[in-house]
Structure 1
Amino acid sequence: MSEQVQRDAKKTPQDYAKEPVASVYNDFGTSAAGLTSDEAAKRLRQYGPNEIQKSKKQSQLKAFLKNFTSLMAWLLWVGGIIAVVAGMMELGIAIWAVNIINGVFSFWQEHAAQKATDSLMKMLPTYVNVHRDGQLTQIETTELVPGDVFDLQAGDAVSADAMLIQASSMQVDQSALTGESVPESKSVDYDPGEGQFAEANLIYEGTNVGAGTGTAVALATGMTTEFGKIAQLTQQQTHQDSPLTLELNRLTRQLSIIAIGIGILFFVLAIFVVKYPVAKSFIFALGMIVAFIPEGLLPTVTLSLAQGVQRMAKKHALVKDLNSVETLGETTVICSDKTGTLTQNQMTVNHIWLPFREYGVKGTGYVANGKILRRGHHVHLEDEPELKTLLEISAIDNDTRVQQGNDPKEAPKLLGTPTEAAMIIMAEKGGVNADELNKQMPRVKELTFDSVRKRMSTLNKLPDGGLRINVKGSLGDMLSQCSDVLDKGETVRPITDADKKAAIKAEQDYAESGLRTLAVAYRDIPADQVPANLDDLTVDTCESNLILVGQAAMADPARPEIFQAVKECHDASIRIIMVTGDSPVVARNVAAQIGIVSSNQARVITGTELADMSKDDLKAAFKEELIFARVAPEQKYKIVSTLQEMGEIVASTGDGVNDAPALKKANIGVAMGVTGTDVAKDAADMVLTDDNFASIVAAIEEGRTVYSNIQKFLTYILNSNVGEAIPSVLFLLSRGLIPLPLTVMQILTIDLGTDMIPALGLGAERAEPGIMKEPPRAQTSHLLTKNVLWRAFAWYGMIGAVVSAGGYFFVNYLNGWPSVALAADGTKGYITATTMTLACVIFVQMANVMNCRTRNASVFSIGLWKNFKINVGIVVEFLILIALMHAPILQDVFQTGPLHWQEWVFLVCIPLPVFFIEELRKKIVRGRQPSTQVE
């Protein structure tokens, strides 16, 4: 045996599949007895461990620091520095504290989500049975090397790309690679098959053996396998900022320009209009700049996203990155895999065809011409001998078995292929138990399935000593082996051409409906004709002169919840495009059945067609209803990237290795947590822990709610700025004759104190009614819209400004104004007046936080006191105001003092009128525009 693999590095497993086994042994320096331990050790050093390398994750330090380096975070750092330079140390520390708390909170949320995701990851098989030193031994899969010979049986996961050298009734589930729900039959003979990874004598890492046994020689391991190549393609994708991150950066720039612009304006006016000294004017302007910076924006956004993540976790959707929640809210297209995502990945028989009758399989039994043949545990097959025969053959000519776990509460596990499992379940519905039947008719021989004759047969001993040959397989191949009679209970009758045509037509009709069929036949050998040596019973002698019984039609059923989820997506103007490795006929019918397309006439583009299409042709095709079938991994990537070039926000779902590149490329990748592969989960932004497509719709609603809440928060914090700024404008326009109605520290008390907790409550607001009836927001729309500015500044803000200015002059009026001059800075009357102005702004904000809970819907429609955080926030801001008025240390810092009963009467009268004036405006808007759109 050679000490190194001498194979041609340019050869692929597909190339080796066409060569004789002896040639493969020679190239890989191995034999049927496998490698020696010494040789395997050398190759392990040469090729490295047999594992899929994970993409390098960001270090914990970088992940932590990134939460403090966003554009808004930098603005807050600078704002704190400005406050310190302006001599307001307490303010600077407060701003920095807000930034630190928000950064730590964001890191904790993302770290917790990542830990939960990591715990979900299912690794590749741990052990494999390999031939080493001439004997069978068990090793860790990471130690498998090219040239190793290893054994497989039903239930095993394949640990390397390999070529079969022995196989018995082997079927492999390759859906993780191809998306095809039907297992591939495998044999030692080369057959190219249809589609990618369909070679009969090749098996691939990451797939699973559904039935049979086999022995294979490893051709590729680790990152050189097809599984590894796709993982590598996935890891090459670069991270892109989410739409929310980009929008927040834009908003930060806008607010920075506004704040700096106002600061410069106030600086100039203070110097040239009020004649303030330059130093004093500079401090005044700096204070106004800091006042207009929305210090609570990042905490509110983070809290809103985090609460969306928590709500999604309760609905079995695990979000790995906070911003992914909002990105889902902007989704315009969902590219969805079919098998295991839209369907249950569980074949189910729903029609049985017999030459004399057709049955529908529903619930727990069968229906024929309205007659229920089984209800609950009561079987009525006495008058249905042909059906009984079909069920018995389906159960006994079957290698799949039901395994009950140690916990009786757990559902039984089916060991075998989905197709055979469907036949077992069909028989169980008719009261036919495979284990009991095998005791009555023990199996004495099996003629295994192969892809040439497309049949499987078992020989079972009859009670009278005879043999029954049970056959199942493709109808087309079965008919040619059938005799000229049909089973008719205790008798037979001639089979006519009309019978054969009816059987073929039924098969075609089922195929057009997206169903797969399996024909069933048998032949009895009398006891006196059974040969002494059963080896004399070959395929040719057994599978001839058969009696056709009928055929079972089956499909992978849609998930029950998918119909409502698809409808909600359509209502929300979100397009769903099926992208599957399954056949065009099945894909079209499933898409039509669940409502993704309006009819089964929708256009289907296969992988072969897609490969020849230009980007322009593909973009043109997207203008019509479209389904993609038989696509390769890189083609899914092409579909997603083309949609993104067209300006779509794309969510891509999937569970297999083939989905990973598209999951990584998409704006939001959604992997299945139960059936999903490790690579798919690693590439995705969100993992559905119950594989429920409906959870995506809930996530989209959460995302839209998050964006809407951020706009509500913006409206709330901006409107208080008007109430804060107008008194200062009066000071400037009067050239100082009107003393500052609010000091800079009092303004900052509102922004960082009283406004903060109610604003955070807005971030926790639930979805408004009808939010999923609106289309996704246009990418050209922004958080700071004309409507937001109008409501914040021209409507809420001006109401607040009038009230706050009115409160200031009301206190002076009580002290004799206008006969007496306005209270001068530093006097007791001035302290009372500024405290009253501050209190007026706070009381207006108590009403406005309620007003901001909805855009145009009445607050009563969502429950006046339903938002607990806002209720608490209102109480807290009132308590802060009381503390500012009466705590000596706070009085000194913020120049505040207690108010008299007359001022309190004025304050108490503020909230209700402000609230009901806004309710009146909303009612007028609703009358003019019944359905609102996302801003």
Structure 2
Amino acid sequence: MQGITPKIEKKEAGILDKVNQKSTTRYASMHMNDVYKYFGTKETGLTSEQAAGLLKKFGKNTIQRNKKQSQLKSFLKNFTSLMAILLWISGFIAIFAQMVELGIAIWAVNVINGIFSYWQEHQAQKATDSLLKMLPTYAQVLRDGKPQQINSEDLVPGDVFIIQAGNSISADARIIKSNALQVDESALTGESVLVGKQAQYAHGVGRFAEANIVFAGTVAGSGTATAVAVATGMHSEFGKIAKLTQSEKHHASPLELELNHLTKQLSLIAILIGTIFFIAAIFFVHYPIAKSFIFALGMIVAFIPEGLLPTVTLSLAQGVTRMAKKHALVKNLNSVETLGETTVICSDKTGTLTQNQMTINHLWLASHEFTVTGQGYVNNGHIQMNNQDVTIAQHPDLEMLLRVSALNNDTKVEQPKNAGDNPKIIGTPTEAALIILAQKAGMNVEEEIQKVPRIGELPFDSDRKRMSTFHKVGDKTTICVKGSLDGMLPISDTILDNGTVRPITEADKQQINAADKKYAAQGLRSLAIAYRDANDDDRLPNDPKDWTIENAETHLTFVGLTVMQDPPRPEIYEAVRKCHEASIRIIMVTGDSSLTAKSIATKIGITSDNARVITGDELAEMHTADLKKALEGEVIFARVAPEQKYRIVSTLQSNGEIVASTGDGVNDAPALKKADIGVAMGVTGTDVAKDAADMILTDDNFASIVAAIEEGRTVYSNLQKFLLYILNSNMPEAAPSILFLFSRGLIPLPLTVMQILTVDLGTDMLPALGLGAEKSEPGIMKQPPRLRTAHLLNRGIILKAFAWYGMVASIISTIGYFFVNSQHGWPNIALAASGPVYQEATTMTLAAIVFCQIAAAINCRTKNSSVFSIGIFSNRRIWGGIVFEVALLALLIYVPFLQGLFNTAPIDWHDWVLLFCIPIPLVLIEEARKLFMRKKHAPKSNVA
């Protein structure tokens, strides 16, 4: 990290300083006695009194979560958005304009919507909380000179504690003693390979690489150790990353910003129209100023779509429900739409793009090269040569490799009881892969281990990178060895070739090294297998108890290489293809090696072979301007630290990208919080990652992100559809007032205020919600993400709502008004301003608007596709809404109590026939327009 501060922006430098300050790795190079002295402890641990004092000083060993808003604040924020404020003001205006019922109704809608929004987000948060997993519950410590089991929350700096295979590690600690300890640090680094830990200091490459330090939140894969805690809770590296995550402030989502922009647009339109009507009322109708002002306020209220906010909320809630069925849990309603805007996905590799299950896929032997089929920890695959299955009996070299791999192994693989569950791994992923390899070849591993019992071992350590086990059956004694190739070849004198042991030659070594390099170039990892027949070997002491690294791990017979990788998820290929089709870039950001990262990225199609790989060390020296330029092309990030992931996301956002960041580890949490949409893994994810994320994948499946993005795009498209649907009714609602004004009052208002309310909050609501449930239009994932500058309410929607749908509905509803009056003597007699004829005429106006809205609901289901192509009856919610609005209209017309409240009157049966005919031509005319637009924008043929 040195040299980074002068080259990056001040804000980013400050973040790095916060993470790196007082790093627990500073204890790695201290003499052990100095560590004891610093914490006032010793090898036998603290006393109970010392521990109690330190607990008061440092506090509980817990990771503090962000302080949640109080329930009251969380509740009230649903009533204080810009749109909600507009509705409060609208209600007040309505009451002031002597439309008390309308004002109260608007306020009631606002209250109901706020309660519903709060309930939705509260339910999502409850589901999230149920997924969060805590740090280990207990720790084995030495206190008062003897082992004690304590709650891990009570662990303090200076405590000496014991680590065993399978334990989650509760604190950052300096190792005192180690017996072949290997730790899974993927939650911190993103790298899936276990890391060897020892008592001796050895500085590795990158963050968290000190060999004698273990970190909170990691897991012991194998071996044992004793360690002294040097940092707990929020002072641990785990805690510091959590603190960095929590320091990131909440930013308004794109949808929140867009709804605020939409509110301003609608307010401006309403005020502009109100001003026009105010002036017109004075000069055309000669109303007094006070009366003109009240009339104008009424028009402002009429042009504010009171049903928009609840419809948006309900539509997002439907999106949340649909996404939950696709294994994506959304914590915030507005995050649904943000997904649809995503332009870049910054994806972790291990456990996100890959299965986090080491799998052996190649075997190299002197006599043959084999491929291994089957994904992950399954034993129903096969070992093949030239696409033909082979058996152990056919190949003695293969049999020896499998036997050594099974015997030199401390891991158990327990097959699941229920179909579909993953096997339980007790040990390391690498050794689990070897066990599964033997099972794939038909070997009974348990039986083999019982037949050839272990009588001793030389544990793995990070210096020699080998592990040896001693086995005896009768008079025969064998040493089984596995480890890195560079540590194995120099101590191998012979090689197994077609069942015969012969001297190993330089040509053999060159061939083995060439094979290893070939696999490494593909991002694969190799593990060398060898053995030594200890019988009649005068170079070894007679008693295996006297065998040491120096005298036992030499003169080996080299058997072969087992080649493995953490394989990509099977469904990832299709998911990546869909992302590219949708113009969404995927950038791999991983703690794994460059070779592995590039291999996986190119294999699954994220990038081409020409992609640039930037390591964490390179990134540390890179100026922000250079990083911005690099992010415009194909790029992969490898060996990166947590704060560097944060920096990458931040830089992408400064480039104008909408960023989704995925991950499961503590190392991913800052980037998850910073991103526009953070996506955490629900099964393997840490509690910090889940807490930071906006969305949690309950199946850890990257493909679920693609489904969620499609859902997000669909939600935005549906928002525009019902925005068009809701706004188009404003025109026929305003037309009666326009007639009234321009006739200088000779034409009575053909629509009352309560009838306008009926359309906005009654008949329109359910069909609008039906539009919110509309499925994706064909080709929605073949379009690029919408531009940040694009808005929900655009010129096209305004023109279509007011000048097309709205104008047609205005004409039809006005005709309905005059049609009723004509049946009662107009134009020979003046238009009635009150009484039964006036009520029947306004009822017909209202009914005509409702039936025009039925046509609009059907027409709004698609933008350009034919509604018949998606199935005119395929959306049952819309048809349920249509049935509801016709039934509601009938109740308003025929129920005496409602007649008085809404100024309605019964209409004749032939009026109903006319009304039911209205939607048919409107749908057919719109279908003709869509057909014309499809032909106009169809790709031109290149055929001459």
User: Please, what TM-score do these two structures have when normalized by structure 2?
Assistant: 0.95
Query: What CA deviation, in whole Å up to 9, does each residue of 1:816-875 have, x standing for no partner?
Result: 333x13422014322222221111111111111111111111111222122222112111
* Residue aligned with 1:402, SS: strand
Distance 2:464 2:155 in 1: 34
Task: Name the SS for the 1:210 alignment partner.
Answer: strand
Aligned equivalents of 2:325, 2:910: Cα separation in 1:
50
Distance (Å, rounded) in 2 between the aligned partners of 1:197 and 1:276: 79
Q: CA deviation at 1:247?
A: 0.5
Partner of 2:853: 845
- Structure 1 residue aligned with 2:332: 321
Determine which of 380, 389, 394 is the counterpart of 1:372.
389
Alignment partner for residue 621 of structure 2, among 612, 624, 636?
A: 612
CA deviation string 1:346-370 (max 9, x = no partner): 1100000001110001131111123
Q: Go from structure 1 to structure 2 and tell me whether the alpha carbon gap of 1:87 and 1:14 turns closer, same or farther (over 3 Å shift).
A: same
Q: Aligned partners of 2:324, 2:151: CA distance in 1, in Å?
A: 34
For the Cα contact (< 8 Å) 1:701–1:771, is it kept in 2?
Answer: yes
Equivalence map 1:244-283=2 (5 Å):
244-283=255-294
In the TM superposition, what is the alpha-carbon distance from 1:527 to its structure 2 partner? Answer: 6.1
Give 1:555's aligned amino acid: Q
Q: Which runs of 5+ in 1 are unaligned?
A: 1-8, 374-379
SS in 2 for 1:78: helix
8 Å Cα contact 1:303-1:764 kept in structure 2: no
Q: 1:154 aligns with which of 152, 161, 165?
A: 165
Of 419, 434, 449, the match for 2:430: 419
Q: Please state if 1:554 is matched with 2:568.
A: no
Residue correspondence of structure 1 range 845-924 to structure 2 within 5 A:
845-924=853-932
In 2, are the aligned partners of 1:299 and 1:760 still within 8 Å (CA)?
Answer: no
Alignment of 1:282-681 (within 5 A): 282-363=293-374, 364-373=381-390, 380-403=391-414, 411-463=422-474, 465-483=475-493, 485-526=494-535, 531-599=541-609, 601-681=610-690
Q: Note closer, same or farther for the CA distance 1:571–1:490 as it changes in structure 2 (3 Å cut).
A: closer
Indicate conservation of the 8 Å contact 1:152/1:214, yes or no: yes
Q: Does 1:712 align with 2:721?
A: yes
Question: Which residue identity lines up with residue 480 of structure 2 in the other structure?
Answer: N
Larger mean CA deviation between 836-845 and 319-328 belongs to: 836-845
Task: Look up the SS of the partner of 2:392 in the other structure.
Answer: coil
Is residue 284–residue 744 contact of structure 1 (8 Å, CA) maintained in 2?
Answer: no
Of stretches 285-294 and 566-575 in structure 1, the one that deviates more from structure 2 is 285-294
Matching residue of 1:167:
178
Question: 1:761 touches 1:867 (CA, 8 Å); kept in 2?
Answer: yes
Match of 2:52 in 1: 41
Which residue is 2:79 aligned to?
68
Contact 1:812 1:822 in 2 (8 A): no
Match of 1:791 in 2: 800
Aligned counterparts of 2:850 and 2:25: Cα–Cα separation in 1 = 74
C-alpha separation in 2, matches of 1:543 and 1:162: 32
> How far did residue 10 of structure 1 move?
8.5
SS state of the match for residue 382, structure 1?
A: helix
- Give the counterpart of 1:82 among 77, 93, 108: 93
Q: How many residues end up aligned between the 2 structures?
A: 914
Tell me the amino acid that sits aligned with residue 61 of structure 1. Answer: L
2:759 counterpart of 1:750: yes
Cα distance in 1 between the residues matched to 2:341 and 2:651: 18
Q: Which residue of 1 aligns with 2:201?
A: 190
Q: What is the match of residue 689 of structure 1?
A: 698
Asked if structure 2 preserves the Cα contact closer than 8 Å seen for 1:467 and 1:527, the reply is: no
Which of 823, 831, 834 matches 1:823? 831
Query: Is 507-516 or 849-858 further displaced after alignment?
Result: 849-858
Change (3 A) 1:638 1:10: closer
Evaluate the alpha carbon distance shift between residue 779 and residue 77 of structure 1 in structure 2; reply closer, same or farther with a 3 A threshold: same
1:544-582 alpha-carbon deviations (Å, 9 max, x no partner): 111110001100000111111111111111110000000
Distance (Å, rounded) in 2 between the aligned partners of 1:194 and 1:459: 33
Runs of 4+ in 1 over 6 A off after TM superposition: 405-409
SS in 2 for 1:860: coil
Equivalent in the alignment of 2:214: 203
Structure 1 residues 347, 854: closer, same or farther in 2, change over 3 A?
Answer: same
Distance (whole Å) between structure 2 residues aligned to residue 750 and residue 896 of structure 1: 14
Q: 2:559 is paired with a residue of what secondary structure?
A: strand
1:867-889 Cα shifts (integer Å, max 9, x gaps): 22211211121122222222222
Distance 1:720 1:408 in 2: 54
Q: What is the distance in 2 between the residues matched to 1:76 and 1:406?
A: 56
1:489 deviates by 4.7
5+ long unaligned stretches in structure 2: 1-19, 375-380
CA distance in 1, matches of 2:307, 2:693: 30
CA 1:410–1:633 in 2, change beyond 3 Å: closer, same or farther? closer
Pairwise CA distance, 1:12: 4.3
- Residue 764 of structure 1 is aligned with which of 747, 769, 773? 773
Quickly say closer, same or farther: Cα 1:125–1:651, change in 2 above 3 A: same
Shift of 1:121: 0.4
How far, CA to CA, are the matches of 2:755 and 2:293 in structure 1?
18
Instruction: Work out the CA distance in 2 between the residues paired with 1:807 and 1:412.
Output: 71
Q: Distance in 2 between matches of 1:340 and 1:391?
A: 27
Q: Is the 8 A contact 2:24 2:237 kept in 1?
A: no
Q: CA separation of 1:759/1:86 partners in 2, compared to 1, >3 Å: closer, same or farther?
A: same
| 1:97 matched residue in structure 2 | 108
The residue aligned with 2:812 is: 803
User: Do the aligned partners of 1:123 and 1:678 also contact (CA within 8 Å) in 2?
Assistant: yes
CA distance in 2, matches of 1:335, 1:405: 33
Q: Is the 8 A contact 1:515 1:554 kept in 2?
A: yes
Alignment of 1:228-243 (within 5 A): 228-243=239-254
> Identity of aligned pairs, percent?
62
**Partner of residue 832 from structure 1, selected from 840, 847, 869:** 840
- AA aligned to 1:533 is D
| Distance (Å, rounded) in 1 between the aligned partners of 2:655 and 2:22 | 39
Give the superposition deviation at 1:404. 5.5
- 2: CA distance, partners of 1:930 / 1:207: 56
- Contact 2:492–2:504 (CA<8 Å) still a contact in 1? no
Aligned in 2, Cα 1:612/1:931: closer, same or farther, shift over 3 Å? farther
Indicate the RMSD between aligned Cα atoms, in angstroms. 1.7
Going from structure 1 to structure 2, the CA distance change for 1:866 and 1:12 (only over 3 Å counts) comes to closer
**Alpha-carbon distance in structure 2 between the residues aligned to 1:528 and 1:699:** 64
CA distance in 1: counterparts of 2:826 and 2:26, whole angstroms: 98
The separation in 1 between residues aligned to 2:416 and 2:857, in whole angstroms, is 56
Instruction: Give per-residue Cα distances to partners, 1:743-773, cap 9 Å, x unaligned.
Output: 2332222212222221222122221111111
Question: What is the deviation of 1:728?
Answer: 2.0
